Structure 1
Amino acid sequence: MAVASDSFRLLAGELIKKTERLRDMLAVVGLIVMGKVAVDTSIAFLSAVRIFLLSKLRSLSNFKEKYGPWAIVTGATDGIGKEYARELARLGVNIILMSRSIEKLTRVAQEIEAEFHVETQVVQVDFSGGRSIFDKISEAIRGKEIGLLVNNVGVMYEMPMELCELSQDVIWQHVNINMGSLTMMCWLVLPQMLERRRGAIVNLSSSSSVGPLPYMNIYSASKSFEFIDLCGLLLASAVS
């Protein structure tokens, strides 16, 4: 009986030691998880501060002095482009609105002038027109000190389709609007920004740019171009 009792105590002791080691390992894992949660929470909090607080503080600064008195917004009559134009106007920046419809351009320009008391200029242009349209744009913005450019104009498929089902018009629209317009608008305004050493360019892309999109491959490829073009633009500006 004494031998059995000693064996039991020995076994129990070994189990207790293993349990303690397991407990210590779980404690370490718990600390790591808690640390990750704390870091993620801190990052989310700082991001929220940056987005919702610092952006508000920045909005109090004089955008005209910081960037320049005029902003160009392409695709400015609806959706994101229109809201960019309104927000920049709220900050006191004069707006050059570019889009296809003169009726929409005129209406939005009148709304912005009445609400925010800034100057506006409208440029009716169809960005699917390719190279020929940029002489008109260059002439329209001649003499304007462009501090901000928002490349918002874009096009996408009406519905998912295979490449061979697309018309040539749709393909060239994606090339000219999603890729050509962004590059050429940067080419038009970037020299004066670099010369003044101030200005900002916003290129709107899409989550579709992260990889091939089945049945919308031309669209996703053109959006990838926008993202890569933006990265190259930032690098070139930093080097300059």
Structure 2
Amino acid sequence: KVMMGAERRSMAMTEEEKLATAYHEAGHAIVNIVVPGNDPLHKVTIIPRGRALGVTMSLPERDKLSYSKEWCEGKIAMAFGGRVAEQLVYGKEHLNTGASSDITQATNIAKRMVTEWGMSEKLGPLLYNENQQEVFLGHSITQTQNMSEDTARLIDGEVRRIVLEGYQKAWDVLTEHRKDLEAITQALMEYETISGAECMALMRGEKIVRQSDDTEHKGPIGSAVPIAGRSPRPPREEPGPGMEPQPS
């Protein structure tokens, strides 16, 4: 509860909002499972917590002292899983503010990859963010650091490229796993909270069956959901809709 935030069961949500949240979180979950580099999926819920309507949480298998480029790219793709899932279901023109924190998180990771962690081939292993200033998207970087406008534009372009590649990766994964998206969404609508293991079982085409002594979950006892289709230091962010807290 501490990591995911306090539940807000009193928050009124319409069935339409609940379904959209389920698609959003299912999208995060599938991208988390499929894209290499992500930590193992721990839990997915559509019970409102904090400011988020739902949360998808992954946990590392052991303490991490550093983060790989693959981890960063996987986290960015996962961040866009929620918005992409909603667009696949409701249409590409379906845009709302629900992915705001996800976009912020993805952009911040990409920015640090380029300006602090030396993960851009075009810019190389140099530090461009020594004073922790905003070094992209039109900020007056030449006033705070000895950096040319050409370099600033290159940083902006690299951040944009990394973010858009993550978005496209999420789109490709969820297009391929559309049946899994429906199955996990239906499971969330029925149970509200499901484990990472249950998500993976659904993606293998299995069912969720819970026993009467299952105290971790709160769904209907012994019922099943439909079968799925066969088929250095990260940014500090508050957990946004669908995303787990970042390590600090």
Q: TM-score range by the shorter chain?
A: under 0.3
Greater strand percent: which structure?
A: 1
The structure with the largest alpha-carbon Rg is: 1
Greater helix percent: which structure?
A: 1
TM-score normalised over the length of structure 2: 0.25
TM-score normalised over the length of structure 1: 0.26
Q: Which has the higher contact order (CA 8 A, sep 6+)?
A: 2
